[in-house]
Amino acid sequence: MPISLTRDIYRLANSFGSNIYLVTGNGLTLVDAGFPVDLPAIHIGLRRMGASPRDLEMVVATHYHGDHVGTISGLKRRHGVLAAIHEDDAPYARGDIPYERFEVETSRLVFYTALWPFFRYRAFPVDRPLKEGDRLDLAGGLEVIHTPGHTAGSICLYSSRRGVLFSGDLLRNEGGILEGPPPQFTPDPEAAARSLLRVRELDFEILLPGHGEPILGGAGKRFRKALEEGLIWPLNGA
């Protein structure tokens, strides 16, 4: 069921992967797109909004991991949806560079192995390579903030005018607890730490994370407090 977060931003679907946000007002654009198995949820969410996948113009991915880009290949192939991702992640998205391998706990490995056909990574052409400082004509103007660490091309999308931050996996709100990127899937924690310090300087009230519940008020203050208390990896040295 789509949930209205602001006048033109919705959390479109319950997802096995990332939060899937829909931005309206200047066409229809997704921010992140879940696993391949999430495609029906996108269809249902759009239908409940009175739209369909063919009405989508673009998907903006905060990074190339499969739980954020899994439906893009299908949306492009069936409906001609454009794909935007940072230029440093574009080679992974296209399949030019192999997907990074990570060590994960046995239970999760068994789960994904058993359901591999539903979660398998699907490469896709990149229509719009993004870079630091690009502006997207969405939600009154979203600036691309390059925040590497979790991946080389991880980005946040930021509206200074409206105080909105799409944080991807740089900042999550899992179980109501603000966290940095997942350590087991973050190959460059030093870069991630620098990215978090950069985001600390942004003025935002609304946090739209890649995972966990959106925070619709006081998000920046809450984030800075968690940083000061040493609760955010990798800045806490844990």
Decide if 129 is inside a domain.
yes
Q: How far apart are alpha carbons 111 and 105 in whole angstroms?
A: 10
Number of domains present in the structure of the chain: 1
Q: Which domain holds residue 224?
A: 3-228
Decide if 112 is inside a domain.
yes
Whole-number pLDDT of residue 147 = 98
Decide if 58 is inside a domain.
yes
Q: What is the mean pLDDT of each run of 10 residues along the chain (238 residues)?
A: 96 91 95 95 96 97 95 96 98 89 50 56 95 97 98 98 98 95 94 98 98 97 96 87
Decide if 236 is inside a domain.
no
- Mention every residue, 6+ apart, whose C-beta is less than 8 A from residue 117: none
- The CATH number of the domain holding residue 12 is 3.60.15.10
* 161 burial level (CB within 10 Å; 0-12, 13-18, 19+): exposed
Decide if 235 is inside a domain.
no
Whole-number pLDDT of residue 238 = 63
Whole-number pLDDT of residue 111 = 46
Provide the whole-model pTM: 0.93
